[in-house]
A and B are shown apart, each in its own frame.
Chain A
């Protein structure tokens, strides 16, 4: 599975949009981009995934560049409860691909 690169930490003001970048320049054509987050001392929580089109759900939006070498997770109105480590992972879907976690981005939402 392709590796990803994320900034180790970011701050965001409460109520503002949080934009978390991820680079995956070696992504293969059949690899999806997944985002999970882990709040302290809890299991990871699934957020969203996509292949090449932008995706939106009740939690976040995922913007994938046209060349698929990078993506951005957007939390439109960050709250204090969004403070967590966010992981960007690429994996092959429907072929048993494993989720391998990198170091992620520690997002701190401040009042």
Chain B
């Protein structure tokens, strides 16, 4: 299957700071990228969908000003958690979808906000 990477894999930050997570499709062009969040012992929850060069579409209840998504190229999307607080601590997972219309997921980023 196609490969998606995320960086960093783990990040710890202080409350009030911003954190940027990168998502890259390594061997395919992802026309659409998705960001999910997963809390312990829960399933993945879709946060937003982004198409290359367009503004992201956020799911109901997800604050677009807090979770900034940029999809500037066909291989890179970034998620910035602004003014992070302890309740934002979670496992963030991105995925990309290209020409085969199958979605491939990154390994995830564990964010801990102190």
Docked-complex contact A43 and B107, CB < 8 angstroms:
yes
Docked-complex contact A103 and B103, CB < 8 angstroms:
no
- Among B1, B49, B108, the residue within 8 A (CB) of A41 is B108
Known A98-B49, A102-B43, A103-B43; contact A46-B107, beta-carbon cutoff 8 A:
no
Nearest A residue to B49, CB-CB: A98
In the complex, chain B residues 58-114 whose Cβ is within 8 Å of any chain A Cβ: 91, 93, 95, 101-108, 110
A77 within 8 A of B: no
Residues of the A chain whose Cβ atoms lie less than 8 Å from the Cβ of B36: 101
Chain B contact surface mostly? strand
Cβ of A42 to closest chain B Cβ, rounded Å: 6
Chain A, interface size category, equals 20 to 34
B46 within 8 A of A: yes
Nearest A residue to B4, CB-CB: A43
Docked-complex contact B46 and A45, CB < 8 angstroms:
no
What is the 8 Å Cβ interface bit string for chain A, positions 8-49, against chain B (1 contact, 0 not)?
Answer: 000000000000000000000000000010100111111001
Bound CA–CA A46/B51 (angstroms)? 21
Nearest B residue to A44, CB-CB: B105
Bound CA–CA A49/B106 (angstroms)? 19
Residues of the A chain whose Cβ atoms lie less than 8 Å from the Cβ of B108: 41-43
Residues of the B chain whose Cβ atoms lie less than 8 Å from the Cβ of A46: 1, 102-105
Residues of the A chain whose Cβ atoms lie less than 8 Å from the Cβ of B4: 43
Docked-complex contact B43 and A101, CB < 8 angstroms:
yes
- Among B34, B106, B110, the residue within 8 A (CB) of A99 is B34
Residues of the B chain whose Cβ atoms lie less than 8 Å from the Cβ of A45: 1, 105
- 8 A-B pairs besides A46-B1, A46-B103, A102-B43 with CB distance below 8 A are A36-B105, A41-B91, A41-B108, A42-B107, A42-B108, A43-B108, A96-B32, A98-B46
